[in-house]
Amino acid sequence: MGLNQDNLSMSLALYHCIPVPRNEENTKYLEYFTLDELAHNPAFIQRHNELITDIEEIDEDENSYLTKGIYYKEIGYQSSGMKREFFQDFQDCYPYFYKSDVIRARRYLVTSWGRVSKDLRLNFQANFIDNFKEGESIFFASW
């Protein structure tokens, strides 16, 4: 999906999530990261080694194959509300593991007349910063 520089309301979702164990009931509702997607933080993978599980993926030719990954559940969500510069400073679907990255993302909350909406600011603070735990939490954006 390309980035429309003229449209701030493009499809954007911000997520704060934590790893969870796989079970037969939750796999149809949960999303996951593959180990390849988490590879830039080997300490996180090692810390959650017991949660690594086989995940069935489908390639572009619709062939299925198994890969390793970790399921997660969402504990924070926000749709839109970020300045254009956010899309230059952060990567699409790239997991961030440090609270400093989440605090940096807060700088890009959309402002009106130089002010961030109170609801947007409070939501971001409560659902992304206050409950973010390094070593447990993952922050990422999807567009």
Q: What is the pLDDT of residue 113?
A: 63
- Identity of residue 51: L
Distance (Å, whole) CA 38 – CA 44: 8
Name the pLDDT band for 6 (thresholds 50, 70, 90): very low
Nearest to 123 by CA among 75, 73, 62: 75
Q: For 88-138, write each residue's pLDDT tens digit.
A: 999 999 999 999 999 999 999 987 665 668 888 999 999 999 999 999 999
Alpha helices in 12-140, H assignment, sequence order: 35-38, 42-47, 85-89, 99-106, 118-124
- Identity of residue 59: D
Residue percentage of the chain with pLDDT more than 90: 74
Q: What is the pLDDT of residue 80?
A: 82
Q: What is the pLDDT of residue 115?
A: 64
Distance (Å, whole) CA 99 – CA 109: 16
Task: Give yes or no for residue 62 having a pLDDT over 90.
Answer: yes
pTM of the model: 0.85
Nearest to 95 by CA among 49, 140, 34: 140
Mean pLDDT of 16-37: 88
Distance (Å, whole) CA 93 – CA 90: 9
Alpha helices in the chain, H assignment, sequence order: 35-38, 42-47, 85-89, 99-106, 118-124
